[in-house]
């Protein structure tokens, strides 16, 4: 079903990219050791998104400049697409993470009990990572 809907709104390459976005070992651009020397960004890697899927509810909303309308994809804990829908949005991509650590009840309880401290740690890490990047616009929204 997703494949037919996508064929009307985006290229096959974009579909394949979105399908494998959160699956383990699907997005690596490293095939040889020498490839490590040519990395030029700290962008999300498939392993990071795959790990987020395992620990939370992940959705990706995206639109390219070639598309008239955006697409929202929801992923299950294994990284497979569970649903997709057309949405209005500006060109760009948003990765939303909800209910972080919910599949791990003890870790979730500890996380929610110390949410202010954990949020501060997250901001510190992101500030360091983003200081090395001159591309893109980032925002972080914490909802309890």
> Under 8 Å CB-to-CB from 34, ≥6 apart: which residues?
none
Per the structure, the count of domains in the chain is 2
What confidence tier does 129 reach under pLDDT thresholds 50, 70, 90? confident
103 near 55, Cβ under 8 Å?
yes
* Model confidence, pTM: 0.68
| 127 within some domain | yes
112 and 75 together in one domain: no
Nearest CA to 107 among 29, 64, 55, 36? 55
Residue linked to tokens 């299950």: 76
pLDDT in tens, 24-47: 766 566 667 776 667 665 555 557
Rounded CA gap, 127 and 58, in Å? 22
| 35 within some domain | no
Sign of CA pseudo-dihedral 133, 39, 120, 98: positive
49 and 84 together in one domain: yes
pLDDT in tens, 63-93: 889 999 999 999 999 988 999 999 999 998 8
50 and 119 together in one domain: no
Structural domain boundaries, residue 5: 1-25+44-100
60 and 106 together in one domain: no
- Structure token pair of residue 112: 């929610």
Rounded CA gap, 21 and 44, in Å? 10
Rounded CA gap, 74 and 86, in Å? 12
**What CATH number is attached to the domain comprising 78?**
3.30.565.10
66 and 122 together in one domain: no
Rounded CA gap, 72 and 61, in Å? 4
* Three-point CA angle 135, 42, 39, nearest 5°: 105
- Structure token pair of residue 125: 């890490």
């Amino acid at each position: 079903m997703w494949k037919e809907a996508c064929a009307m709104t985006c290229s096959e390459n974009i579909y394949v990219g979105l399908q494998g976005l959160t699956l383990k070992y699907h997005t690596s651009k490293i095939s040889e050791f020498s490839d490590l020397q040519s990395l030029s960004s700290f962008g999300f890697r498939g392993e990071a998104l795959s790990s987020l899927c395992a620990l939370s509810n992940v959705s990706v909303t995206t639109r390219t400049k070639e598309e008239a309308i955006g697409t929202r994809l929801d992923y299950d804990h294994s990284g497979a697409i569970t649903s997709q829908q057309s949405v209005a949005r500006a060109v760009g991509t948003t990765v939303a993470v909800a209910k972080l650590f919910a599949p791990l009840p003890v870790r979730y309880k500890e996380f929610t009990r110390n949410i202010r401290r954990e949020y501060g740690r997250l901001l510190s890490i992101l500030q360091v990572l983003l200081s090395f990047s001159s591309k893109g616009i980032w925002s972080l929204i914490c909802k309890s």
